[in-house]
Amino acid sequence: MDICFFGGTFNPVHNGHINLLKTAEEKFSFDKIIVIPTKIPPHKNVVFSVTDEDRLNMCNLAFSGLAEVSDYEITQNTVSYTINTMSYFKQIYPEDKFYFLMGSDMLLTFERWREYKRLLSLTAIIAASREEDEFEVLCRKKAELECDGGEIHIIEAEPYIISSSKIRNMIKSGDKDFSCYLPERVVQYILRKKLYME
């Protein structure tokens, strides 16, 4: 099988995440897609104002029918290094081809990832170019990483103008317009549980 992995804090998951995954799916027609909410991201300091269970539930609501959601990283109670996660899944799917979907910013700093060369041996990378002027930059990074033995794919995705942090700020300030950036079921979950409001 061709299996796509898509990780992130998803705090909250929004339409940009979903559109990015759909863009990759349309291009590659994966046999399976696994979304993995991060427990503790290694590259940024995050203090979650919602529980891991809430983030997991929102992902299940958002990606229903498109992907399965794994709680693997959330249950590890440690920093979520992608090399550990991919090694774990390689034990489950030893014969299958892996793809790891990421945004352009992550590809440009990929050499900082733990054991990045070994990670390139486990999974192909799909990076999304969302701005006109970044495609050439990503192609240069692709060439560099392929010299390290990697398989890198650059796809063009529709720009998305909102981030999870901006959505959290909108909710906290009482701006009702936040709902247009999220799947309706996620909006209802946030309102029902009063997430991000304090």
Would you say 127 and 106 are in contact if contact means Cβ atoms under 8 Å apart? yes
Predicted local distance difference test score (pLDDT) of residue 44: 67
pLDDT in tens, 81-120: 999 999 999 999 999 999 999 988 899 999 999 999 999 9
Domains and CATH numbers, the chain: 2-161 (3.40.50.620)
Predicted local distance difference test score (pLDDT) of residue 45: 63
Q: Predicted confidence band at 129 (pLDDT cuts at 50, 70, 90)?
A: confident
Would you say 163 and 11 are in contact if contact means Cβ atoms under 8 Å apart? no
Neighbouring CB atoms inside 10 A of 75's CB total 11
Q: Predicted confidence band at 53 (pLDDT cuts at 50, 70, 90)?
A: very high
Is residue 27 predicted with pLDDT exceeding 70?
Answer: yes
Q: Predicted confidence band at 46 (pLDDT cuts at 50, 70, 90)?
A: low
Phi–psi pair at 197, nearest 5 degrees: -90, -10
pLDDT in tens, 167-185: 999 999 999 999 999 999 9
Would you say the C-alpha torsion 63, 44, 155, 19 has a positive or negative sign?
Answer: positive
DSSP structure string for 129-151: E-SGGGHHHHHHHHHHHHHTT--
Predicted local distance difference test score (pLDDT) of residue 138: 92
pTM of the model: 0.95
Q: Rounded to the nearest 10 degrees, how much is the dihedral formed by the CA atoms of 169, 50, 7, 93?
A: -170
